[in-house]
């Protein structure tokens, strides 16, 4: 039997956010561009935050990450999408079907798509990540996505110390220090209790788990907000839809 998603009242969460208003006023916020999510997170993501978006196949992870980049481009914020699994033209075609023209922004110099399909060893990975840091500095990037971090970390094997070191050096010491807000897309197999090797959740600033449940015989997409360091959000679940032009549409509880 499929469990009904647990929902927190939006009104209750809004009151809690108001209690923390003085603290939030000291934090620079980067709007995600996903209105429902920004309302839950006191305006968006903390600037420089590292966000882990994990889920089963087909739950909308890449679409959410692309929406974050695209909304930044519309605001004039340079962005980088690093993809270890999908060729450039496939990505562009899929995004175009949702109403997002990434190629236009690439021609303007605001967007860079890094196709990292052939990275197969530690040395090549280290060089690729070094190049990305340089690229972020050169174009003054504000937003970045790695899709998927699961594939990227598989190159290192299952050595947790090496995984933690790479995440710390590239994302925390590298991108965060530059003020780049990053999304890490991760695979989350059915039944798994932790994401990846378990190291990833400790390094990042927020964790969103996407999944699909069946309700009255129809699939329903759910986002679980498992962890957020900068906003006073407790365990929460919201429903969302993938729609053309909007890309990600989050439905907030009415109460």
248: exposed, middle or buried (Cβ count in 10 Å: 0-12, 13-18, 19+): buried
Does any domain span residue 174? yes
Does any domain span residue 63? yes
Does any domain span residue 254? no
Average pLDDT, the chain: 88
pLDDT tens per residue, range 196-238: 777 788 899 999 999 999 888 888 999 999 999 998 876 589 9
Does any domain span residue 244? no
Does any domain span residue 246? no
Domain span at 63: 10-21+29-239
Whether 8 shows a pLDDT value over 50: the answer reads: no
Does any domain span residue 245? no
Distance between terminal CA atoms of the chain? 27
Does any domain span residue 162? yes
Whether 54 shows a pLDDT value over 70: the answer reads: yes
85: domain CATH number? Answer: 3.40.50.300
Does any domain span residue 5? no
Q: How many domains does the chain have?
A: 1
Helix, strand, coil proportions of the chain in percent (round to 5)?
A: 40, 25, 35
pLDDT tens per residue, range 104-133: 999 999 999 999 999 999 999 999 999 999
């Amino acid at each position: 039997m499929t469990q009904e998603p647990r929902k927190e009242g939006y009104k209750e969460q809004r009151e809690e956010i108001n209690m923390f208003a003085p603290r939030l006023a000291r934090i620079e916020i980067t709007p995600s561009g996903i209105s429902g999510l920004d309302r839950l997170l006191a305006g968006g993501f903390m600037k420089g935050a590292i966000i882990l978006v994990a889920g089963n196949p087909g739950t909308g992870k890449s679409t959410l990450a692309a929406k974050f980049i695209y909304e930044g481009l519309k605001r004039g914020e340079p962005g980088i999408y690093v993809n270890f699994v999908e060729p450039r033209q496939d990505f562009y075609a899929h995004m175009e079907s949702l109403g997002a023209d990434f190629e236009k922004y690439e021609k303007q110099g605001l967007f860079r798509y890094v196709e990292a399909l052939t990275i197969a060893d530690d040395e090549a990975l280290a060089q690729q990540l070094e190049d990305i840091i340089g690229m972020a500095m050169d174009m003054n990037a504000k937003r970045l996505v790695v899709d998927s971090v699961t594939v990227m970390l598989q190159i290192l094997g299952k050595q947790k110390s090496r995984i933690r070191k790479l995440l710390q050096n590239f994302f925390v010491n590298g991108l965060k220090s530059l003020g780049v807000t990053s999304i890490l897309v991760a695979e989350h197999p059915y039944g798994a209790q932790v994401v990846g090797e378990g190291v990833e959740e400790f390094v990042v600033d927020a964790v969103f788990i996407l999944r699909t449940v069946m309700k009255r015989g129809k699939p329903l997409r759910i986002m679980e907000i498992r962890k957020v360091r900068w906003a006073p959000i407790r365990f929460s679940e919201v429903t969302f839809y993938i729609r053309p032009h909007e890309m990600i549409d989050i439905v907030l509880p009415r109460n």
